[in-house]
Structure 1
Amino acid sequence: MKAVEEKALSSGLPQKRYYRQRAHSNPIADHSFTYPAHPSDFNWSTLYPHISSNEEVKFADIGCGYGGFLVTLGEMYPSVYSIGLEIRVKVSDYVMDRITALREIHPNAYTNIACIRTNAMKYLPNFFYKGQLEKIFFLYPDPHFKRAKHKWRIINQALLSEYAYVLKAGGMVYIMTDVEDLYSWILYHLERHPLYEKVGEKEIASDPLTPKLYQSSEEGAKVVRNKGQHFLTVFKRI
């Protein structure tokens, strides 16, 4: 907790200015990650103090950024374990410190959320069993505008198969972006993948999570402040 105390506001929460990092990270590059050889090798109790041996993480916020939406998940679903996955070192450090501080400020709360620094494009099957997850979120993913970098995008046919592997039948994939070109790219790949079907507008509108997708995350809040556009789609694992 010393790091949190040194980087804290009067509220007890860490300050983002101590954790600033470049917005982009190359997910294809070799980073230094620690990951289990098999999901059974990972000790989730190191992240969730009250998790039992027969409980599993059910929600995954991939590219969780500074953790705003992850905190919202913890508040909305106190009985569900949610994990944030973030590739950037300082950003993931911030989320971890933020959760530690929240647990100290609010005893017995926020024990159902945690963050791991990892590359979700490579290591999801190392952490999650087949059909384990109920919801996966991709909120404001890096658009990687240059054509040469489209291979870095978090959604493509091969990766969708990996996401389908860790999703249970009927599990949901939520995607929000403010980049229309990326939205078109995502729709193209999802609509052509045999393991997903698009969720109807009425079902999306009635989902209690839908309003939170717009500005619970820091990136979403920035888009709202700048009066930018939002492009939302939700698909279901067949």
Structure 2
Amino acid sequence: MVGPANKRQKREQYKSERGEDAKKNQELPKKKFYRQRAHANPFSDHHLTYPITPAHMDWSSFYPAFVTTPEEVQANPQSGIDIEFGRVRQLKKDVEVADIGCGFGGLLVALAPVLPDTLLLGMEIRTQVTEYVQERIKALRAQNPDTGLYQNIGCLRANAMKFLPNFFKKQQLSKIFFCFPDPHFKARKHKARIVSTTLNSEYAYVLRPGGIVYTITDVEDLHNWMVGHFDAHPSFERVQEDEQDADECVKIMRVETEEGKKVERNNGQKFVALFRRLEDPPW
């Protein structure tokens, strides 16, 4: 006698049926089949794949609507490495916005129509959650075939604490988001926080002068930690509150992430801080 299917079997059955049914591919994926532990150890070996350099990264599967055509390649033969051999299909523009620890993709989806000409990338370390966001993007594109909506967002599984410069070249990004990152409450776990003296230098490397780092959390201690570390870094200055409150991305960031909605339901506080990338001093 065969017993009822367990959670993993139900998940695999759901994904199999979804992949075989074209109509289901147009439906938003059900989050319950992609649930995973809230946090992952960034120091573990997750068997991740990543490019040797940003020039080796093939973004074509993430943003197919923005892939450079053969005619455009011929007109600009210096557009990328090995492009004449077809090993790296170049995009018409670079990824400019990174949502690090994007969760279930609420911010990406909300920002897509607000920044229609900008390529946005979600980076998530959890396998099932990454797959959910990828399926969500596919469904949204299928639902909007003639509008071009959601063609400008993508999601990949990555550990930004280890490999961020492998994906982005110097001064490539204009915005970086840290929305409700893992607070790592215990002092011995603070080294795993996404904001630190060392990591802030990497963010300064990939962020262009004038670019903005957006942070939001419901943990005041973590907020103070992030503010303290960015304030202490010579490449950043804090954005004034009036400019912060007028930023449309801040308004979206406050309400569109899953964690943000949870905090809202629980009547919790949200602590927001923005930091601008300064010009490098003359050598």
The TM-score bracket by the shorter chain reads over 0.9
Q: 1:3 to 1:84 in 2, by over 3 A?
A: farther
Aligned position for 1:91: 129
Aligned position for 1:140: 180
Identity of counterpart residues, as a percentage?
50
Aligned position for 2:219: 179
Aligned position for 1:46: 61
1:115-173 deviations in whole A, cap 9, x for unaligned? 01000001110010100000000000000111111110000000000000000001000
Deviates more, 1:104-113 or 1:148-157: 104-113
C-alpha RMSD of matched pairs (Å): 1.8
Equivalent position amino acid for 2:232 in 1:
R
Q: Determine the C-alpha separation between the residues in 2 that align with 1:24 and 1:105.
A: 31
Aligned position for 1:65: 103
Among 21, 28, 33, the alignment partner of 2:48 is: 33
Q: Determine the C-alpha separation between the residues in 2 that align with 1:20 and 1:110.
A: 23
How far off is 1:54 after superposition? 3.9
Is the 1:4–1:13 Cα contact (8 Å) retained in structure 2? no
Among 23, 36, 46, the alignment partner of 1:21 is: 36
Does residue 114 of structure 1 match 2:154?
yes
Alignment of 1:69-218 (within 5 A): 69-107=107-145, 108-218=148-258
1:67-123 deviations in whole A, cap 9, x for unaligned? 000111112111110000000011101000100111111113211000010000011
SS in 1 for 2:181: coil
Is the 1:60–1:84 Cα contact (8 Å) retained in structure 2? yes
**Which blocks of at least 5 consecutive residues in structure 2 are unaligned?**
1-14, 69-90, 279-283
Deviates more, 1:24-33 or 1:167-176: 24-33
Q: Determine the C-alpha separation between the residues in 2 that align with 1:98 and 1:148.
A: 36
Flag the structure with more relative contact order, 1 or 2, with Cα contacts below 8 A and sequence separation at least 6.
1
Equivalent position amino acid for 1:184 in 2:
N
Q: Determine the C-alpha separation between the residues in 2 that align with 1:6 and 1:94.
A: 17
Deviates more, 1:166-175 or 1:209-218: 209-218
How far off is 1:215 after superposition? 1.2
The alignment's TM-score, normalised by the length of structure 1, stands at 0.96
Largest Rg, 1 or 2: 2
How far off is 1:21 after superposition? 0.5
How far off is 1:208 after superposition? 1.3
Does residue 222 of structure 1 match 2:262?
yes
Q: Give the count of matched residue pairs.
A: 238
**Which blocks of at least 5 consecutive residues in structure 1 are unaligned?**
none
Q: Determine the C-alpha separation between the residues in 2 that align with 1:204 and 1:104.
A: 35
